Amino acid sequence: MSGEVMPAPLTHRYAAWSLDAAAIALVVAAALHRHLAAGLDACSRALDGLTRAMAGTMQAALDAGASPMALAQSWLGDPALHGAVVALAAALTQLLVLPTLAFALLSLAWFAGFEGGRWQATPGKRLLGLHVIDDDGLPPGLLRAGLRHAAGLLSWLSLNLGHALAALPPRHQALHDRIAGTRVVRREARALPGPVRLWLALQLPAAFLLLALLMRAVDRSLTLALDATWPL
């Protein structure tokens, strides 16, 4: 593309990525909704089995007057508890592997296809006025765009330090951009639209809500297990 370009701010880059990731996640969830529902049910049953095993061991330890340290040791050596942990791990693996693989493959097609195509931008980037170029200012092409996306794994594995490099002048290249020889740029300074700012603001509360729902499920399962083990 011709004309002057400016490095894309890190906030704009993240906002664009999160919009794209949400769209991909919705497609995966819609395609695998039966698998996800069955996997969540299996995880719930495995969690109930784990809490029942823990409650049973706790009851036996209390009846024997065992100390908290002895209770912890009995948990570590309890074959029923070990089996319950293995069952929960297997249920979680069954739930997550297929959606994660589907998300990874669709993400590769999404980012490489859109950024290596005519738009030079995913829908999220295009919405925010961003596009991807190579070090010479030319369209990256499919292979370079695919390499950029694949190298993004290193930016995640570096605990996001690779992404943070995009905040450093003068070229503002993330680790995967440096590897692929690309840059994310924009043609004009543009503030994030109001709906996008709201989208970003809601992400942290949504994460806390999901954590609260998980803790509630664990608390429900543990309460039921304790009620069954120590009836009034």
H helix count then E strand count, the chain: 9, 3
48-57, 65-74, 98-107: which has the minimum mean pLDDT? 65-74
The Cα 218–Cα 209 span in angstroms is 14
224 part of a folded domain: yes
Say what the pLDDT of residue 176 is. Answer: 96
- pLDDT confidence tier of residue 16, bands split at 50, 70 and 90: very high
Which tens digit of pLDDT belongs to each residue from 98-135? 999 999 999 999 999 999 999 999 999 999 999 999 99
Q: What is the pLDDT of residue 170?
A: 85
The predicted pLDDT at position 15 comes to: 97
So what's the pLDDT on residue 44? 93
- The structure tokens 């943070």 sit at 164
Q: Give pLDDT, residue 140.
A: 96
Is 26 among the domain residues? yes
Whether 56 is in a domain gets the answer yes
> What percent of the chain shows pLDDT beyond 70?
89
- Burial zone of 116 (CB within 10 Å; 0-12 exposed, 13-18 middle, 19+ buried): buried
Q: What is the pLDDT of residue 66?
A: 63
Kindly state the tokens that stand for 112: 């490489």
Q: What is the domain extent for residue 117?
A: 6-229
27 falls within a domain: yes
CB 46 within 8 A of CB 87: yes
| Predicted confidence (pLDDT) per residue in 171-222, tens digit | 889 999 999 999 999 988 889 999 999 999 999 999 999 999 999 998 898 8
Asked, for residue 113, whether it belongs to a domain, the answer is yes
- For the chain, how are helix, strand and coil distributed in percent, rounded to 5? 75, 5, 20
Compute the mean pLDDT over every residue in the chain, rounded to the nearest whole number: 90
Per-residue confidence band for 1, with pLDDT thresholds at 50, 70 and 90: very low
Please name which of 21, 35, 176, 175 lies closest in space to residue 106, comparing C-alpha atoms: 21
Number of domains in the chain: 1
Output the pLDDT for position 117: 95
In a domain, 208, yes or no: yes
- The answer to whether residue 1 sits within a structural domain is no
**Mean pLDDT confidence for 155-182:** 93
Q: Taking 70 as the threshold, does the pLDDT of residue 2 lie above it?
A: no
